[in-house]
Every structure is written in structure tokens, then in C-alpha cells.
């Protein structure tokens, strides 16, 4: 299995490509005004195998599964199911202003109510609540358009917000599907592992030989 780890400071550069086009996951870490920690998770691509004049089109993320740790995601919406509060649908945030403080997934790189087209697959058995994402859940855009085109080599696929007190190391496997624009043939690399470490964990990861490690 290939493993790509998310840096707690900036996007991690993988030592080797995951496949033609897709090169791995990364995340940007930001401290929010309320003291919580925001991670924007990206699927990254290069131009290997891409025909001239065409682009990669991100279609879906699927089979999300926790490897170790607890996600500890914070949600800012009123959705409830089976006693859980919060959904992974960005459009369910209390307001647009709350969206930066909310945890959500996206298949189009967008996090606004206008143009929001991300749907949750049947893996979200409770309608998209907090625990669902650890049980093989996935998300997609049923009608991919230009918002699904990879721009600048990265596609935003999720935002995870945590409290500083709960910003411990979390690892999960995730697979994706994408294609070449104008074609219908899916490319499905994965699963790949991403890691969201606590502050200061980058140095520890380096000492442990984790950074850029390639597994099979």
C-alpha cells in the first residue's frame, strides 16, 4: 500500500508518484479565530499521462476508513441522527460564516451553497453524521462540471476542524476516482493513507522514518 502523510504545517511532498496523475494527499493547517484547528485536505495531481489541452476531472472519494486515532471533527450545523449532531454536508452549515469553522467533504472543490453538488454515498448510513465517515463512507458529484476540474494541481476534497485540545494524530485510508476531461474511463488509485498530526509531530514523524514512506 502506498502511504502519503499530511504535514501539520504545509502540504507534504511525496517521495514518489502514487500513479499517473494522482500523486497523493496533503493538507494545509490553519489556526482559526476561535482557537480551533482547520485542515483543508487535498488530492494532488501532476500532468503525467494527461493529453495536451485536457484536464483531470475529480469524480469521487470513497472507502474512507480510520487506521488509527480519532478524527475528533467539529461540526457547526443542526443536523441530528441517532443521537449524533453534525453532518459532513457543507451545505448544512448553520450559515456561510460558520462554514470555515465546520467539518465537511466536497467532490467539487467548493464549500459554498451556490454550486454545491456533493452527495454522500450509502456508506453514510445515518445521513452523514460524525461516526459515519469511519465506516467506509464516500462522497461524489453526480453531475461533474467545471468545478470538478483540477486547477493548479490540487482538488480540495474535505475540511476537518478540530479543537486544539483534540488535535492528536489521526490516520485514515481513502481511495479516489478521477478521469481525463472529455472521456468516460475512470482511473481509481488507492487506497492511500493520510495523516493529520498534532502540532510538533512533524519532527517525530521524520525521526520515525514516516515522511514520504512507500508501503506495499
Q: What is the pLDDT of residue 206?
A: 36
- Concatenating the DSSP letter of every residue in 157-194 gives EEEEEE-GGG---EEEEEEEEEEETT----B----EEE
Mean pLDDT of 119-145: 80
Report the pLDDT averaged over residues 64-92.
80
Examine the pLDDT at 200 and tell me if it is beyond 80: no
Residue 203 has pLDDT above 60, yes or no: no
Domain ranges of the chain: 22-207
Most confident of 8-17, 124-133, 162-171: 162-171
What residues contact residue 4 under an 8 Å CB cut-off, 6+ apart?
12, 14, 18, 23, 24, 25, 26, 192, 193, 194, 212
| C-alpha cell read off for 81 | 441522527
**How much is the pLDDT for 198?**
41
Q: Is the pLDDT of residue 60 over 90?
A: yes
The three-point CA angle 34-39-43 to 5° equals 160
Q: By three-state DSSP, how is residue 107 classified? A: coil
pLDDT at position 82 is: 65
Residue 84: other Cβ atoms inside 10 A: 16
Question: Can you list the positions of beta strands (E) in 46-169?
Answer: 56-68, 80-81, 84-85, 104-105, 118-120, 135-141, 154-162
* Element holding 29 (H helix, E strand): strand 22-31
Whether 197 contacts 6, CB under 8 Å: yes
Q: Say if residues 34 and 164 touch (Cβ distance below 8 Å).
A: no
Characterize the bridge pairing of strands 37-45 and 154-162: antiparallel
- Taken in order 67, 62, 96, 39, the sign of the CA dihedral is positive
Band of residue 88 on the pLDDT scale cut at 50, 70, 90: confident
Q: What's the pLDDT at 209? A: 35
Q: Which whole-number Å values give the CA distances from 54 to 43, 121, 174, in the listed order?
A: 18, 28, 26
pTM for the full model? 0.80
Q: Are 163 and 34 in contact (CB under 8 A)?
A: no
**Rounded mean pLDDT of 145-159?**
90
Percent of the chain exceeding pLDDT 90 equals: 35
Q: Helix or strand or coil: residue 42?
A: strand
Amino acid at each position: 500500500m502506498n502511504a502519503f502523510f499530511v504535514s501539520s504545517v504545509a502540504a507534504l511532498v511525496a517521495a514518489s508518484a502514487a500513479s499517473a496523475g494522482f500523486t497523493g494527499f496533503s493538507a494545509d493547517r490553519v489556526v482559526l479565530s476561535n482557537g480551533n484547528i482547520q485542515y483543508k485536505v487535498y488530492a494532488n495531481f501532476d500532468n503525467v499521462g494527461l493529453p495536451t489541452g485536457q484536464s483531470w476531472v475529480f469524480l469521487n472519494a470513497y472507502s474512507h476508513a480510520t487506521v488509527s486515532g480519532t478524527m475528533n471533527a467539529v461540526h457547526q450545523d443542526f443536523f441530528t441522527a441517532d443521537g449524533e449532531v453534525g453532518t459532513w454536508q457543507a451545505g448544512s452549515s448553520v450559515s456561510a460564516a460558520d462554514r470555515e469553522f465546520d467539518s465537511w467533504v466536497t467532490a467539487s472543490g467548493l464549500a459554498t451553497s451556490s454550486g454545491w453538488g456533493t452527495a454522500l454515498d450509502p456508506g453514510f448510513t445515518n445521513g452523514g453524521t460524525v461516526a459515519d465517515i469511519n465506516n467506509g463512507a464516500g462522497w461524489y458529484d453526480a453531475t461533474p462540471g467545471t468545478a470538478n476540474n483540477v486547477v493548479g494541481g490540487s482538488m480540495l476534497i474535505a475540511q476537518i476542524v478540530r479543537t486544539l485540545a483534540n488535535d492528536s494524530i489521526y490516520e485514515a485510508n481513502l481511495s479516489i476516482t478521477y478521469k481525463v476531461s472529455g472521456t468516460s474511463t475512470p482511473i481509481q488509485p488507492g487506497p492511500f493513507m493520510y495523516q493529520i498530526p498534532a502540532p510538533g509531530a512533524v519532527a517525530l514523524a521524520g525521526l520515525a522514518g514516516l515522511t514520504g514512506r512507500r508501503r506495499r
